[in-house]
Amino acid sequence: MSDFNEFEDGESNKRGQKLIDRGAVATRALVLVPILSKSLQNKAVIEGRLTRRTDDARLEEAAGLASAIELDIVEVLRVPLSVLKAGTLIGKGKLAELKQLIHDEEVELVIMDHALSPIQQRNLEEEWGCKVLDRTGLILEIFGRRAQTKEGRLQVELAHLNYQKGRLVRSWTHLERQRGGIGFMGGPGETQIESDRRGLQEKIARLEHDLDQVRRTRGLHRTNRQKVPHPIIALVGYTNAGKSTLFNNLTGAEIFAEDLLFATLDPTLRTMTLPHGRDVILSDTVGFISDLPTHLVAAFRATLEEVLEADVILHVRDIVHEDTGAQAEDVAHVLHDLGIEISEDPRVIEVWNKIDLLPDDERQTVLDRAAGQQPSLATGQMQPVALSAVSGQGVDTLLGEIEEKLAQKDNLINLHLEFSDGEGLAWLYRHCDVLERTDIETGIDLKVRAADKIQSELRNRFYVE
């Protein structure tokens, strides 16, 4: 299997073992964007495999994905499709036309912005004489380059191997090739493809075991954070919506935030202080995208589960993007799979980002919509917050909304402690926000703010007035 990298026991970052050569000379690539006929689009939407988006937006996103791995993009072409061919996806006439273009332009890689079956991918490679990547393969390649932490690399490897397992047909179509064997090497007459599949399955099992250990560690960290009174604010949104820029604006951090798809892959946590002095933990997560590969959603579940524990969820939208509505639907679909209904969850604040890119009159229209003075494009329960993470306009309003959201969950409790109860006092400072303290003759009067999750323990330990 020469076309795909076989990862060795967690060493996903070995150079020279990627789908695409990272040599000094950029790979010449042709990007093809299948444009489905109305009937095919309607069928895909009904089946839940497609959200409605404009052709221009699809072209822009496909080019952005290809640019994320620094290819020399020869051209980005629309390919109209009225029928999906089982063997090649596209018809014979278009196949021949593209073959000539690939030859003339010395194209080394074709990216098909659509899911391809293993058979389709193999047939296209044989027909065109070059590598072919479908949308899933390209996203996996991007994720492989972006992952920095051990957890991120393991998750990408697992998704990659599951994807690779289904494409063994690409390398071994001559199933009559067999190898003998005994014991763990396989039974007599085991075909080469069976041997390769078994080898991949063993690697997948090892990765799943390693990821399980990482998940346990993440779970312990999450449990430890729950012992601290700081609420957790999670950022979610479509890739390139500006989550990382907003994260940097709010925390003063300098995490990687460029105009790139999937600029952030590994989760990042920072402590920040709200205007009225309350400390919170802000969490930035991987961006979502339409047709996010199933393997990736499953592999990154441990990372995305950070959102489940959040006290407030900020759904960041690129409000100037022509497909902002479809992007919001894609985010909602992924969160639905995690058990979060974004349109109903009271923790969600919708953030309309990038208003600095709008002309003055359009910016005012968006601000009016966010303020409820015009029909809204929001998908959540609360009125959205319109802002610019770059200029800072509207950020103060967002901070106020976060404080209001947290206040709705707060429990203000009055307590009295004996002076001798130093252990109890230390516990309160460790697990609650101590808002007021008054020392009187008989002890200490306290007003504390306690999270719901420690209410039971607090009332068991102390007399609550």
- Which residues fall in the annotated binding site? 237-244, 262-266, 284-287, 353-356
Running DSSP on this structure, what letter comes out for residue 446?
Answer: E
How, if at all, do strands 411-417 and 443-450 pair?
Answer: antiparallel
Residue positions counted in the chain: 465
> Cα(147)–Cα(162) distance, rounded to whole angstroms?
18
Per-residue tokens: 413 = 């409790």
Running DSSP on this structure, what letter comes out for residue 286?
Answer: P
With a CB cutoff of 8 Å and minimum separation 6, the contacts of 271 are: 230, 251, 279, 280, 281, 282
Start-to-end C-alpha separation, the chain:
71
Per-residue tokens: 337 = 């799979």
Closest-CA residue to 225 (of 182, 180, 164, 269): 269
Q: How many CB atoms lie within 10 A of CB 83?
A: 11
- Please answer whether residues 116 and 141 qualify as being in contact, where contact means their C-beta atoms are separated by less than 8 angstroms: no
Q: Output the known binding site for Mg(2+).
A: 244, 264
With a CB cutoff of 8 Å and minimum separation 6, the contacts of 441 are: none
What is the sign, positive or negative, of the torsion defined by CA atoms of 424, 430, 432, 435? positive
Q: How many CB atoms lie within 10 A of CB 24?
A: 5
Q: How many CB atoms lie within 10 A of CB 191?
A: 16
Q: Output the known binding site for GTP.
A: 237-244, 262-266, 284-287, 353-356
> Cα(428)–Cα(180) distance, rounded to whole angstroms?
68
Beta strand ranges found along 373-432 (DSSP E): 385-386, 411-417
With a CB cutoff of 8 Å and minimum separation 6, the contacts of 264 are: 146, 243, 244, 255, 256, 257, 284, 285, 286, 287
